[in-house]
Amino acid sequence: MELTTLTHENEDGILTVRLNRPDHLNAFTVEMAQELEHTFRSVNDDDSVRAVIVTGNGRAFCAGMDLATEGDNVFGLDGAKRPTLADMADLDDPGIARIRDTGGRVTLAIYACRKPVIAAVNGAAVGIGATMTLPMDARLISTKGRIGFVFGRLGIVPEAASSWFLPRVVGLPKALDLVYRADILDAQSALDAGLAQSVHEPEDLLDAARSVADSWTQGRSPVAVALARQMLYRNAAQEHPTEAHRIDSLAMFYTSIGDGDDGVRAFLEKRPAEFDSKASRMPEFYDEWTRE
């Protein structure tokens, strides 16, 4: 896919994805949604990438949906339709392509990613600019960064599956407060709310994000990292730990006869492990387990 709203830069295994509409404060469009979804689907099979950082070009991260977009519905939806709950059963049905929330397409792709994902919030991140960061594994924010779930001010609801992600990031009471107030938080307030892991000066933000990415992925098994990411997200939502035990058992079995074999011997021999697995080739149970 030719990118027109994003740029990609792979440096030593860390893919930096920049939202690239700086003249519009990186406002979100349907085209940007398509390019982000494609990026996060494609990176699963790109073994040159071990982690992803998302940031914005210019002075904003993402100022939300581009409300100046021409058309009958700025969100890219077909206002002539009257969909029902039954219509949403098959999300791959072409008939609901312009009913499905575009932000949700992006966050579901990030959720399914096999690589750690870090948001480097360099400026304003409001609306979809905020919700797209929630399925990312960390949110580092610049002192110039701002985060806001401003949907209530527009008469719409939180999207991008944020009603699932946000309570898991900050807890339900805080999530309700953030959504009801619809305030825009400065960097310190985002840190205090549990939205951000750390605050950095603008010139230090990307270096800090790269440092986190390195600490998570250098000298690690790509398959074990991919499995651990999905296990923590998916198993935490199960009703009973027995369901986690089923997946733990399969994941432990296959990693123990894969990279874990050399990992154990390397530990005993006091040498660096030589992991040769690839996240593009997951154990056979993986696709069945993660199928949406």
- DSSP state letters, 242-270: HHHHHHHHHHHHHHHTTHHHHHHHHHHHT
pLDDT of residue 81: 85
Phi, psi of 132 (to 5 degrees): -65, -20
pLDDT of residue 100: 87
Angle (CA) 291 239 248, round 5°: 60
Each residue of 60-86: pLDDT tens digit? 999 999 987 656 677 778 888 899 889
178 close to 167: Cβ distance less than 8 angstroms: no
Mean pLDDT confidence for 41-52:
98
pLDDT of residue 71: 62
CB neighbour burial string for 164-196, b if at least 16 within 10 angstroms, e if fewer? ebbbebbeeebbeebbeeebbbbbeebbebebb
Each residue of 192-234: pLDDT tens digit? 999 999 999 999 999 999 999 999 999 999 999 999 999 999 9
121 close to 199: Cβ distance less than 8 angstroms: no
Separation of alpha carbons 15 and 51, rounded Å: 6
Each residue of 232-268: pLDDT tens digit? 999 999 999 999 999 999 999 999 999 999 999 999 9
pLDDT of residue 76: 78
pLDDT of residue 93: 87
Separation of alpha carbons 40 and 192, rounded Å: 29
> Which segments of the chain are extended strands (E)?
6-11, 14-19, 51-56, 60-62, 117-121, 124-126, 138-142, 146-148, 184-186, 198-200
pLDDT of residue 69: 66
pLDDT of residue 70: 57
| pTM recorded for the entire structure | 0.95
Average pLDDT, the chain: 95
Q: Name the residue with tokens 């099979």.
A: 45
Each residue of 136-193: pLDDT tens digit? 999 999 999 999 999 999 999 999 999 999 999 999 999 999 999 999 999 999 999 9
